[in-house]
Amino acid sequence: MATQLSSSGKASLWSNPDLRKRLLFLLGALIVFRIGAHVPVPGVDAAALAKLYQNVAGSGILGMLNMFSGGSLERFSIFAIGIMPYISASIIMQLAGEIVPSLKALKKEGDAGRKIITKYTRIGTVLLAAVQSFGVATFVYQQNVVVVSQFEFTVSTITCLVGGTMFLMWLGEQITERGIGNGISLIITAGIIAGIPSVITQLWTLISTNAMNPLVAMGIVIGVLLLTYGVVCFESALRKIPIHYAKRQVMQAQSTHMPFKLNMAGVIPPIFASSVIMFPSMLASWFGGSDPSSLPNKIAAQLQHGTYLYMGLFAATIIFFCYFYTALAFSPKEMAENLKKSGAFVPSIRPGEQTSRYLEKVVLRLTFFGALYITTVCLIPEILTTSFGIPFYLGGTSLLILVVVTMDFNTQIASYRVSQQYDAYLSKRSDAKSLPHK
């Protein structure tokens, strides 16, 4: 059977009708996303907005938001705030589900409880998107690029941006259900990939105009490739804890293991850390007015990318959310109880309380090194951007999302193909058994 699966696994992705249908749906959905990224919000002078963005937002907080939205913020399209309100609402609900007793009870009710939590998440998305849209409308109006009245512009902006976020949320859910992979993650990844050609163009322009030494540009490219390779290695790293089964010890000499990833929190800590730091900075920018000496604008300037305050807060919040999310998502006590119930144990460790303490020790060590790894990956581009004066955004968070989602997408395609091939093999076996024997 293994030979048949491996030989059929070499076939093209398009040879499987169902997989081909899912990939085509994914492609179509991403095309719709890219088209929507070019549909502008009414009432704005596009040329003046592009000049404003080029002057003040290319490498700061707004540069990161523009990268996540695939350039929608630069064009002030209906997808300008992207899917970030939904991500923030999802993370908040996920964290609240481990703290609030009522939500924790809903999680144990299966599909019915999951539907209620999804409903709360969508309501939270609308509220966060409305608040963020109002702030964006206020900020853009203060820049003297709006050609309609403030009331008309505010209403139309909130309507368009909230509608765009809700459409992206729906599109992501459709990709998850009818395509391949996690739809929300793929939309964010598509936005990041869409910004790569612009970054390459800007880098080439800097070299052509002698604004940047070619050796420095080559060093940046090599550094990005090496950092990508390091992220792939660290994301693939596993800590395997051997597990033995008492009831199967005689019949089964081969033991199994419990895998723990080095980065157990994934990309959630840097995303949430960025949101936490971004919120006060954006508030200060929105309400600071045009006077650069005002207190809100001074606060916003200190929280821009490249400042020591920003990098210190960013590192501290990443480490905090690494421990916080891991503590909520992984319960060593519950894992130890499940092992004990299934008759499994860790060699040389007594089942129960000792196993729980051992697993907790392993999780804390992995979280420590995982937090250092994520913090390093996120801070290296910040330091390089500041040191070499790069006028465009290079983000470790974007790189993490890009690599992690790509690896997960590749794994899901491989798993889907194997499951399809296995089902086809079982179908052939059952057909062969049903044939009359001569």
Amino acid at 75: R
The model's confidence at residue 253, banded by pLDDT at 50, 70 and 90, is: very low
Residue 254 pLDDT more than 60?
A: no
The whole-angstrom separation of Cα 284 and Cα 278 is 10
Q: What is the mean pLDDT of residues 377-394?
A: 72
Calculate the alpha carbon distances from 57 to 50, 74, 212, 272, 287 in Å: 10, 9, 20, 21, 16
Question: Which of 70-79, 94-103, 362-371, 374-383 shows the highest mean pLDDT?
Answer: 362-371
Q: Where are the beta strands (DSSP E) in 286-362?
A: 344-345
Q: What would the pLDDT profile of 130-158 be if each residue is shown by its tens digit?
A: 988 888 888 788 778 888 888 899 999 99
- SS3 assignment, position 78: coil
Q: What is the mean pLDDT of residues 270-291?
A: 69
Bridge partners of 240, per DSSP, are 259
pLDDT score of 160: 92
Q: What is the mean pLDDT of residues 245-259?
A: 61
Count CA atoms closer than 13 A to 163's CA, side-chain side.
13
pLDDT score of 422: 66
Answer with the residue of higher pLDDT: 432 or 397: 397
Answer with the residue of higher pLDDT: 273 or 172: 172
Helix, strand, coil abundance in the chain, percent, nearest 5: 75, 5, 20
Answer with the residue of higher pLDDT: 122 or 285: 122
pLDDT score of 427: 65
Residue 128 pLDDT more than 70?
A: yes
pLDDT score of 369: 92
pLDDT score of 8: 45
Model confidence, pTM: 0.78
pLDDT score of 161: 92
Residue 387 pLDDT more than 80?
A: no
pLDDT score of 150: 87
pLDDT score of 4: 44
Residue 115 pLDDT more than 80?
A: yes
Bridge partners of 261, per DSSP, are 238
pLDDT score of 296: 65
Tokens of residue 150, six digits:
């403030």
pLDDT score of 388: 66
Given the structure tokens 């395609």, which residue do they identify? 413
Residue 171 pLDDT more than 90?
A: yes
The whole-angstrom separation of Cα 306 and Cα 386 is 5
Residue 44 DSSP label: B
Residue 10 pLDDT more than 50?
A: no
Residues contacting 435, CB < 8 A, separation 6+ = none
N-terminal to C-terminal alpha carbon distance within the chain: 24
pLDDT score of 321: 87
Tokens of residue 151, six digits:
């009331």
Residues contacting 281, CB < 8 A, separation 6+ = 61, 299, 300, 303, 304
Given the structure tokens 């020591």, which residue do they identify? 308
Measured from the Cβ of residue 42, the count of other Cβ atoms closer than 10 Å reads 13
DSSP string over 156-191: HHHHHHHHHHHHHHHHHHHHHHHSSS-HHHHHHHHH
Q: Where are the beta strands (DSSP E) in 228-286?
A: 238-245, 256-261
pLDDT score of 249: 46
Provide the phi-psi class of 40: left if phi over 0, else alpha when psi is between -120 and 50, else beta. Answer: beta
Residues contacting 336, CB < 8 A, separation 6+ = 351, 352, 353, 355, 356, 359
| Helix H or strand E encompassing 96 | helix 84-99
Answer with the residue of higher pLDDT: 328 or 225: 225
Answer with the residue of higher pLDDT: 324 or 16: 324
The model's confidence at residue 169, banded by pLDDT at 50, 70 and 90, is: very high
Mean residue pLDDT of the chain comes to 79
Given the structure tokens 């499951």, which residue do they identify? 419
Please tell me the least confidently modeled range out of 3-7, 9-13, 139-143, 280-284: 3-7
CB of 122 within 8 A of CB of 172? no
Tokens of residue 76, six digits:
């002030």
Q: What would the pLDDT profile of 299-353 be if each residue is shown by its tens digit?
A: 766 777 667 888 888 899 899 988 888 887 788 888 888 888 878 888 888 888 8
Query: Which domains are delineated in the chain?
Result: 14-194 (1.10.3370.10), 212-415 (1.10.3370.10)
pLDDT score of 274: 77
Answer with the residue of higher pLDDT: 47 or 316: 316
Residue 2 pLDDT more than 50?
A: no
